[in-house]
């Protein structure tokens, strides 16, 4: 872990074939990161910029684009998972996440089928199946974890979404324990997206005379308290979408401000590079009372946080679908 005393982990929010054998391995060996994540948007960047994929694509031209995508993606995830087996064996995270087809966000049955299939294709114990936190997603999370598959619940913006994930993980853990007593529970992370709130709301906050770049931190901390209070031993908060846009705040702002005990921060490479340039200490989370006061102030200025929750989830789902479709088109 990046900080053993606080059990604070830092994961890399990028996967690409040459990167796995280069910078990712270097970050692992120096104890900077102990996990990694991917999603369709990340693979879109990797496939379009990584020269090492050309031969694999060329040799698989007669396959359906989704088959080619899964071939490339599962190869990369397996490579990364192999590099992290030492971490996993030491109970130091060591997980790599792969997301199901984003078109399945509202289809529980096919999400479950695809999650199981991807897990079996990769055949690594330290793989997490990433599932969007929709109503169908909660059902899929429950079933996969009950089967012993670790899950990364993604695109969490609201406390209600986080609670849905917690309910799914709690039920799944109970089912798994009955099936396989005295065996380690599969792990779950609840990926709370952070910076997108501020990019959406900063302009309105400034007009209302409220401080900018605070909603993401406050909302993420509120959800962190909910997850910690539930006390599931195999579930942790993962702070995601922690890169910044623009130069009005430090590049590692969302990592330093959310360096809480028993949490994970998954960040882009450039954010990690900025973060490790100077020492950082764990932070005490903002109190629940202060968070309530903050959100009351938003409401008094007619800033609708529930509308933001819905918009950001819709935008996130659409963005992953768009990235996935663009990958499919490029592999035709």
Concatenating the DSSP letter of every residue in 8-32 gives BEEEES---HHHIIIIIHHHHHTTS
Cβ atoms < 10 Å from Cβ of 247: 7
Cβ atoms < 10 Å from Cβ of 60: 16
Q: What does the alpha-carbon distance between residue 285 and residue 32 come to, in Å, rounded to a whole number?
A: 22
Q: How many residues does the chain have?
A: 332
Is residue 123 among the annotated active site residues? no
Find the helix or strand (DSSP H, E) in which 272 lies.
helix 269-275
Beta strands 127-132; 235-240: pairing state: unpaired
Sign of the C-alpha dihedral computed for residues 141, 142, 148 and 153 taken in this order: positive
Cβ atoms < 10 Å from Cβ of 64: 12
Q: What does the alpha-carbon distance between residue 70 and residue 208 come to, in Å, rounded to a whole number?
A: 47
The residue from 78, 130, 142, 222 that is catalytic is: 130
Residue 133 DSSP SS3: coil
Instruction: Using alpha carbons, select from 261, 254, 266, 187 the residue that is nearest to residue 224.
Output: 261
Task: Say if CB 162 and CB 226 are below 8 A apart.
Answer: yes
Residues 6 or more apart in contact with residue 32 via CB below 8 angstroms:
2, 10, 272, 276
Residue 116 DSSP SS3: helix
Q: What does the alpha-carbon distance between residue 257 and residue 282 come to, in Å, rounded to a whole number?
A: 9
Q: What does the alpha-carbon distance between residue 276 and residue 60 come to, in Å, rounded to a whole number?
A: 40
Q: What does the alpha-carbon distance between residue 164 and residue 170 come to, in Å, rounded to a whole number?
A: 10
> Token digits for 249?
């705040």
Give the active site residues.
130
């Amino acid at each position: 872990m990046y900080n053993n005393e606080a059990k604070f982990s830092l994961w890399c929010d990028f996967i690409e074939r040459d990167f796995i054998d280069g910078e990712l391995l270097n970050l692992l060996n120096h104890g900077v990161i102990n996990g990694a994540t991917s999603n369709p948007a990340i693979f879109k960047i990797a496939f379009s910029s990584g020269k090492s994929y050309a031969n694999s694509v060329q040799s698989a031209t007669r396959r359906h684009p989704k088959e080619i995508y899964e071939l490339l993606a599962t190869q990369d995830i397996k490579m990364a998972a192999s590099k992290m087996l030492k971490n996993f064996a030491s109970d130091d995270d060591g997980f790599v996440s792969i997301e199901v087809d984003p078109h399945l966000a509202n289809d529980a049955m096919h999400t479950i089928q695809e999650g199981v299939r991807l897990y079996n294709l990769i055949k690594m114990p330290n793989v997490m199946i990433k599932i969007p936190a929709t109503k169908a997603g909660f059902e899929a999370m429950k079933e996969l974890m009950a089967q012993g598959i670790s899950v990364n619940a993604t695109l969490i913006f609201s406390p209600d979404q986080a609670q849905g994930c917690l309910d799914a993980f709690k039920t799944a853990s109970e089912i798994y324990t009955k099936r396989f007593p005295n065996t380690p529970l599969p792990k779950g992370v609840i990926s709370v997206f952070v910076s997108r709130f501020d990019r959406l709301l900063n302009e309105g906050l400034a007009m209302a005379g409220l401080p900018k770049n605070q909603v993401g931190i406050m909302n993420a901390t509120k959800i962190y308290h909910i997850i910690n209070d539930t006390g599931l031993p195999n579930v942790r908060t993962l702070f995601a979408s922690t890169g910044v846009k623009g130069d009005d705040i430090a590049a590692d702002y969302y990592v330093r401000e959310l360096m809480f005990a028993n949490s994970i921060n998954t960040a882009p490479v450039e954010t990690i590079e900025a973060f490790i340039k100077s020492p950082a200490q764990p932070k005490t989370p903002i109190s629940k009372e202060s968070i309530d006061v903050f959100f009351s102030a938003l409401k008094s200025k007619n800033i609708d946080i529930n509308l933001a929750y819905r918009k950001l989830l819709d935008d996130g789902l659409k963005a992953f679908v768009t990235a996935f479709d663009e990958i499919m088109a490029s592999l035709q």
